[in-house]
Amino acid sequence: MTLNTPEYVHDTNGPPSGIAADSVTKQHQNGELNSTNTKDASAFKGKVKRTKENRNLCKSAITKMRRLSANERERRRMRGMNEAFDRLRAAIPSPSSKQLSKYDTLLMTQNYIRALQDMLNE
């Protein structure tokens, strides 16, 4: 493996990875880069090994966080949907004390609306 491959970065004078070179050059020219305002200049010197395994771990952690976030959004959406169906069930007369399914609730609501329209048209 050579030092020019993506797995190894060897540049003792260059900027840390992820920072544009011209940005660092401008900061250096303006006197903004010195030992007091850099976190740890020695941390950026030497070889930094970036393996596919480390990238995959990062990607899997990000994927897991996105999945957890999506799951939470879906739970909130379904909770809101179920609350709306509960309000709809309470608004329509039902023949039994047993809770209607969502499908049955929609059918009963359609029938109830038709019955109300028929009453108005008479």
- The verdict on 46 and 72 lying in the same domain is no
Q: Same domain, yes or no, for 38 and 59?
A: no
- Determine the Cα–Cα distance for residues 79 and 103; give it in Å rounded to an integer: 17
Are residues 44 and 57 part of one domain? no
Q: How far from 91 is each of 28, 38, 83, 84, 86, CA to CA, in Å?
A: 70, 65, 13, 11, 9
Contact 10, 50 (CB under 8 A): no
The residue type found at 94 is: S
Which pair of tokens denotes residue 114? 């038709």
Per-chain mean pLDDT for the chain:
75
Question: Domain tally for the chain?
Answer: 3
Does residue 25 surpass a pLDDT of 60?
Answer: no
Q: What is the pLDDT of residues 59-112, one digit of tens each?
A: 889 999 999 999 999 999 999 999 999 999 999 998 778 899 999 999 999 999
Q: Tell me the residue range of the domain where 114 lies.
A: 92-122
